Chain A
C-alpha cells in the first residue's frame, strides 16, 4: 500500500516537472525565435540606389535569406547624414561612396565588407552628362551654365569634377552660373533632360543602370567627360559588429553571383559580383579630398 502511494507520488511530481521543463524549453525556443536572428540596418542614399526601390528590396531579402540575418533597409538623404548615423550606430552597414568611407575611416568606425566589380574591375568613373543636342563638348564648356551635382560629399557626383576644375585653375564654386544638389544620381540625369541644368556629374554605374532601364534616354544624353577610373563605392560595416555577422554578410555578398537570385539582382545593379576588399585602397579619392580641403 505504501509502495503504491509512493510510486504514485513520484509519477505525479515527475509529470509536473516534466511539464515545467517543456514550458521552459518552449519559452527558450520562442524567445530565440522572437529575438532570434540579429538585425542589421543597411543604409542607402539616393546618391547610390534610391530610385531602384524594387531592386533594393530584392537585395535586402536576398541578404536576409543568404545570411540568416534580419536585414532592414534605411534610406538616408545625404552622405553626411549616413555618416553620422553610422557613427551613432543607427546604421550597421552601408553602400557608400569612397569619400564617405575615407571620412569614416578617420574616425575608425567602419571597415570594408565587400567591393563590387563593374565591368570586371573595382573601378568606376565620374561622368559629365549633357543633352545630346547641346553644344557642350567638355566640362569647361559649361562655364557660367547651371550644373547639377548629386551629393556634396559624393566622389563621382561632386568631388571629382570639382577637383578637375580646381586642377585646371578654376574655382569650382564660381565656375558654374548655378549649382544645384539633387542628392540623387537619377535626379541629376532628369535635371539635365528637363533643361533645368545644362550638365551634371553622374556615377558611371548609376548611368549605366539608367541607360539599361531607359534605352530611349540614351539618345537624348551624351557623356562629354569620363573622369577616372576611381576605386568603386564600397559596402562598409561598422567595426563593432559581431564577427560572425560580418562573416555571414560577407559570404552572402560574395556568393551572390553564384545563385540565380543573386545573379538577377547583380544584373539589375549592373554589378558583376562582389569581391573581398583585400588589396583595395582609396588613395586617389583621399588625395582629391585633401586637395579640395586645402583649398577650402
Chain B
C-alpha cells in the first residue's frame, strides 16, 4: 500500500495528536538545543561576567582595603570569591605584578611575582581595579570550566528529562485536543447517519455553548436537522394526505419504475386483474405498458371472460411512470346505449324530416292527381315533384352510406384546399373575399381524398356564403400531436346562433333557402367516422370550425 494511502487511512485523531506532539516537541527540543549550544559556547563568558559583577559590587571595599594596605581584607575577599564553585583560585596582584593575596599561598605566596601559567591559559582572566583611573592592581582568576561544563551537562540532563516530560504532556494535550475535535466530528457523523435513517429520537445535540468552528457547524447542523425533520414530517403528512386522497379516488392509480416494478398503487379493485406480485400482469404489460402509449381506451379481458374498457392515462417523471386507470366499461355501455338511443332519435328525426318533406311534395301531387283532369302543365309539375322526392330519397340514401375508410391514405391536404378554392373562385371573386392560409405542407392527413374534398367544399362554401363583402376567410392546417392534425376554417360572418349550433350536424337541417341540410351532416359524419372531432366557435362576427383529423391509420373499423 502506498505511503500516501497509508497516511490517509490513519485516523484524524491520531494525526492531530501526532501533529501537536511533533510541533511542540520539535519546538522545545530545538529551543533547548540552541540554548544549550549557546551556553556551552559561553561558559567562560558566563563565569567571567559573574565574577566581574561580584568584584564590581565590592569595588569600593576593595579600593579602601588596598589604600589602607589591609591585605588581610583583600585575602578575605579573595578567599570568599574562591568559594564560587566555578572558580579554581583567585589572587590579587599589585601594579608590579607581585602577589598581594592568593587562595593558593603555597603556589603563589605573598610578595612573589605572579607568572601566568602557559597551559590552561584559556581558564585565566584578570580584572583590574582602578581608583580615579589609577590602577591599584588586578584580580587574577582561574575559572573551573569543567565545573561549568558539569553544571551545564546536569542542566542538559534535566532539560532532557523536561523535554521527555513535555513530550508526554504534549502528547496528552494533543490527544485531548484531537479527542475534543474528533468527538464532535463523530457526533456529526452519527447525526448524519441518523438523518439518513430518519432516527430523529437519537440525534445528539450540543449541551454546552462554545464558539469554535466545529461547534458552529454542529449548531448549524442541529438547526438544519430540526428544519429537515419538520419538512420531512410535513412531507410525510402531505404524502399521507395524498395517499388518502388517492385511495379514495375511484379508479386505479399506479406508479411504476423503468423496470415495470410497482412502487405505489391505491388498492383499487382493478389491481386484482392488472397487478400480480407487485408487477403488471403480462398481458396488460404487453398491451399497454410495452407500447409506451400515453393514453388510450383499452378493451381488456380481466378474468378471461368479460371485457372491461379501461381509460388509461400515463404521466412520466424521471424514471417513474404513473398510470390512472379508470374502468369505463359502464360508461362505454351507457355511451353505446346512448348512441343507439341517439341513433333511434336521429332516425326518428330524419324520418320525420324526410316524411315531412315528402309529404310537402305529395300534397300538391295529390291535388294534381286527385283534382280530375290532368293537363300537360300538371304533368310537368308531377314530373318535377317526383324528381324532387327522388332527389331527397337519393340524398338520404347517400347519407346512410358508410364512408370508405379502406381507401384512406396519407395525402397532402394543401392540394385539395387549392383545388376547392379554384372551384369556388367565382364565389370568392364576386364577394371580394381574402383567403388567408397557414398550412404545414409536410403534414399529411390520413383520409380518403374524396372525404377530404367533401369536408373542404362544404365548409369553405359555407364560409364564403356566410362572409360579408370584402370579408376574410382563414384556412389553417397544423399538427396537434403525433396522431392528429387540426384543420381550421374561419370566416368573419355573422355567426351561428347558439340554439342552432346543436342542430347543424343533423341531416336535412339548413338555414339556407335552397339548402339541402346534408352538407354539414356529411362533414360531421366523415369526421367522427375517422375518430376525429369538430369544434365550433361562433360569435357575432366570426365562425370557426376546428376539424381534428387523423394523421395515422385508424385501428378499428367503425360499424
With A196-B101, A196-B105 known as contacts, the answer to whether A148 contacts B110 (CB < 8 A) is no
State which size class the interface on B falls in. Answer: 10 to 19
User: Considering the complex of A and B, which 3 residue pairs feature the smallest CB-CB distances, nearest first?
Assistant: A195-B105, A180-B72, A146-B110
- Chain A 191-216 residues near chain B, CB threshold 8 A: 191, 194-197
Q: Are A148 and B111 in contact (CB under 8 A)?
A: no
B109 within 8 A of A: yes
Q: Chain B interface (Cβ within 8 Å of chain A)?
A: 70-72, 75-76, 79, 101, 105-106, 109-111
Complex CA distance for A177 and B110, rounded to whole angstroms = 8
Complex CA distance for A44 and B77, rounded to whole angstroms = 24
Closest residue of A by beta carbon distance from B68: A181
* A-B contacts, CB under 8 A, total: 32
Q: Are A177 and B111 in contact (CB under 8 A)?
A: yes
Note all chain B residues with C-beta closer than 8 A to A197.
110
- Interface flags for A171-188 (1: CB within 8 Å of B; 0: not) read 000000110111100010
Residue among A178, A191, A194, A196 with most chain B CB within 10 A? A196
Closest residue of A by beta carbon distance from B112: A177
With A194-B105, A195-B106 known as contacts, the answer to whether A178 contacts B75 (CB < 8 A) is no
Note all chain A residues with C-beta closer than 8 A to B101.
196
- Interface flags for A63-102 (1: CB within 8 Å of B; 0: not) read 0000000000000000000000000000000000000000
With A194-B79, A194-B105, A195-B106 known as contacts, the answer to whether A182 contacts B111 (CB < 8 A) is no
10 more contacts with CB within 8 A, not counting A187-B72, A195-B105, A196-B105, are A146-B109, A146-B110, A177-B110, A178-B71, A180-B70, A180-B72, A191-B72, A191-B75, A194-B75, A194-B105
Complex CA distance for A178 and B110, rounded to whole angstroms = 7
Note all chain A residues with C-beta closer than 8 A to B76.
187
Complex CA distance for A84 and B328, rounded to whole angstroms = 148
Q: Are A196 and B111 in contact (CB under 8 A)?
A: no
Q: Are A182 and B110 in contact (CB under 8 A)?
A: no
Q: Are A148 and B72 in contact (CB under 8 A)?
A: yes
A266 nearest CB across to chain B (Å): 30
Residue among B72, B79, B105 with most chain A CB within 10 A? B72
Complex CA distance for A187 and B79, rounded to whole angstroms = 13
Note all chain A residues with C-beta closer than 8 A to B110.
146, 177-178, 196-197
Note all chain A residues with C-beta closer than 8 A to B75.
180, 191, 194, 196
Note all chain A residues with C-beta closer than 8 A to B79.
194
Closest residue of B by beta carbon distance from A184: B72
In the complex, 18 of the A-B residue pairs with CB atoms within 8 angstroms, ordered by the A residue number, are A146-B109, A146-B111, A177-B111, A178-B71, A178-B110, A180-B71, A180-B72, A180-B75, A181-B70, A182-B72, A187-B72, A194-B75, A194-B79, A194-B105, A195-B105, A195-B106, A196-B72, A197-B110
Q: Chain A interface (Cβ within 8 Å of chain B)?
A: 146, 148, 177-178, 180-183, 187, 191, 194-197
Note all chain B residues with C-beta closer than 8 A to A181.
70, 72
Note all chain B residues with C-beta closer than 8 A to A180.
70-72, 75
Note all chain A residues with C-beta closer than 8 A to B109.
146
Closest residue of A by beta carbon distance from B78: A196
Complex CA distance for A92 and B349, rounded to whole angstroms = 170
Complex CA distance for A178 and B76, rounded to whole angstroms = 16
B442 nearest CB across to chain A (Å): 133
Note all chain B residues with C-beta closer than 8 A to A195.
105-106
Complex CA distance for A273 and B121, rounded to whole angstroms = 59
Complex CA distance for A191 and B110, rounded to whole angstroms = 12
Complex CA distance for A282 and B101, rounded to whole angstroms = 37
Note all chain A residues with C-beta closer than 8 A to B105.
194-196
Note all chain B residues with C-beta closer than 8 A to A191.
72, 75
Complex CA distance for A264 and B111, rounded to whole angstroms = 44
Closest residue of A by beta carbon distance from B99: A178
Note all chain B residues with C-beta closer than 8 A to A196.
72, 75, 101, 105, 110
Closest residue of B by beta carbon distance from A188: B72
Complex CA distance for A195 and B105, rounded to whole angstroms = 6
Complex CA distance for A69 and B71, rounded to whole angstroms = 40
B68 nearest CB across to chain A (Å): 9
B97 nearest CB across to chain A (Å): 16
Complex CA distance for A268 and B493, rounded to whole angstroms = 157
Closest residue of B by beta carbon distance from A179: B71
A164 nearest CB across to chain B (Å): 22
Complex CA distance for A181 and B109, rounded to whole angstroms = 17
A149 nearest CB across to chain B (Å): 10
Complex CA distance for A194 and B105, rounded to whole angstroms = 8
Complex CA distance for A204 and B282, rounded to whole angstroms = 140
B65 nearest CB across to chain A (Å): 11
Note all chain B residues with C-beta closer than 8 A to A182.
72
B543 nearest CB across to chain A (Å): 144
A224 nearest CB across to chain B (Å): 19
Closest residue of A by beta carbon distance from B106: A195
Note all chain A residues with C-beta closer than 8 A to B106.
195
Note all chain B residues with C-beta closer than 8 A to A146.
109-111
B535 nearest CB across to chain A (Å): 137
